[in-house]
Amino acid sequence: MSGHGALATGDSNNPGGSGLRGRHATARSRLGPARGPRSLRWVRSLLPGEEGTAWWAEVTSCLAETPDPGQRRQYMHSYYRSVPQLLWTSWTAQIHREAPALAGVKYSSIKRKGTDMAFASPEDKFGIKLQSEPGPKTIDQSYSVLLGIVVIVLGIIGFILTGFTNYTEMTDHSIFGLFRTNGFHNTVYIILGLLWLLGAFALTSAGNQGMNIAVGGALLIVAVLGFLGYWSLLSIPPGVNGDNILDLAVAVASLIVGGGLLSAGSRRSA
Amino acid sequence: MAGLRMTVGVLAVLGALLDRPDTELYGLEIVRASGLEPGTIYPILQRLRGAGWVSDRWEDPEPARAEGRPPRRYYRLTAEGRAHAVHALQHGRDRSGLGRLLAPPHLPAAPSTEAGPA
């Protein structure tokens, strides 16, 4: 062991020596355990701060004390395989140290993950409002109230225009001269509006955000289908028109609100 | 638990350190004791260090040089880490049958007395 060891220090003093790979096989086997893991050195420069030096020192130490070449090769491979994990762990640790809030450490969602869902109330599980105070409180809930009212009003105006005859036929009626509609389309407006109001008043903020994501996603599909011209049944002509633009705008707004972008902003500034 | 996920690897490393709680172990010793590969244990030790469960110390370069090898890095469980490790080995292993199947055999058998969290 001491013979190997002497060579080990020799090699670690000269880690950047010429690459002997393959060409001097005998020299390499004679150098034995200390044959520097030079092919791993580049990893060091990818690690943050002191971590690179520390990791490299540990790798050298570990490989220098593994006399069996087969074993050493296996360990080298394991270091290779661990590079993605190593990078992830090192950099996330670094970010956590430097900017804990940025890395999400301060967010309550972390605590949530620790709760046992088996004992969670329906409020925590599904966002059905039980204990929380009634009424819209957050930005996304106010958005749902506003949108719900607007859409229900649109539906009612639509019914005043179309009446209840020719329920699913193509009609020439249009709300404000912009949104072509028929009876069935008006019903969809009112159901969507009720859904939004329900989300605003009966769900928690998180539940309401989830509902907005679902409705926004569905409306996005509806808008795309509308631009492609699949809603002639609802008397919506294909291409760019009021109805399809309305669908798209509401879809995008709902996804933004549902995604929590606005409320996250308010939470941070508060 | 400081966001530390109790994977099979983490439990194996904790088990290796807990086997000899009063001695410091260096990388290769943990490799041998845990049955894992050095590339695997390093990021685990990184995370354990980050969570404060494990402290590390570099060996003095002088005696190492006298023995003709690079200095070793020694790890040991902190007091906090030891408490967490005992708890994790009792409960973490029970959570999935997979962990019990894959955990290296040297791991101390979980005591039958349930010292559950308050």
Has residue A46 got a pLDDT over 80? yes
Tell whether A91 lies on the interface with B, counting CB pairs under 8 A.
Answer: no
ipTM: 0.74
Provide mean pLDDT across the span A84-95: 85
**Mean model confidence pLDDT for chain A:** 73
**Nearest C-alpha of chain B: how many angstroms from A58?**
7
CA closest to B72 among chain A residues: A61
pLDDT of residue A168: 67
Q: Classify residue B68 by its DSSP letter.
A: T
Shortest alpha-carbon distance between residue A15 and chain B (Å)? 12
Q: Which tokens go with A134?
A: 């009634």
Average pLDDT over residues B14-36: 87
Interface probe with A: pick from B32, B46, B55, B75, most Cβ of A within 10 Å = B46
Residue A119 is predicted with a pLDDT of 58
* 3-class SS string, B91-111: HHHHHCHHHHHHCCCCCCCCC
Q: Which residue of B has its CA nearest to A94?
A: B50
Residue among A60, A61, A54, A110 at smallest CA distance from A86: A54
Q: Does A8 touch chain B (CB under 8 A)?
A: yes
The position carrying tokens 């469960």 is: B53
- With a cut of 50, say whether residue B105 has pLDDT above it: yes
The answer to whether the CB atoms of A79 and B39 lie below 8 A apart is yes
Both tokens assigned to A228? 């492609």
Tell me the pTM. 0.45
The pLDDT value recorded for residue A193 is: 92
Q: Are the beta carbons of B42 and A54 separated by less than 8 Å?
A: no
- Chain A / chain B CB contacts < 8 angstroms: 83
| pLDDT, mean of residues B22-43 | 88
Q: How far apart are CA B12 and CA B31, in angstroms?
A: 10
Most confident of A29-33, A103-107, B66-70: B66-70
Residue range B62-103, pLDDT digits in tens: 888 888 888 889 998 988 888 888 888 877 654 555 545 555
pLDDT at A107: 45
The rounded distance, in Å, linking the Cα atoms of A229 and A226 is: 5
pLDDT tens string A107-165: 444 444 555 555 566 677 677 777 666 666 778 888 888 889 999 998 888 888 877 77
> pLDDT tens-digit profile of A47-62?
887 888 888 888 888 8
Average pLDDT rounded to a whole number, residues A85-94: 86
Nearest CB among B3, B26, B69 relative to A5 is that of B69
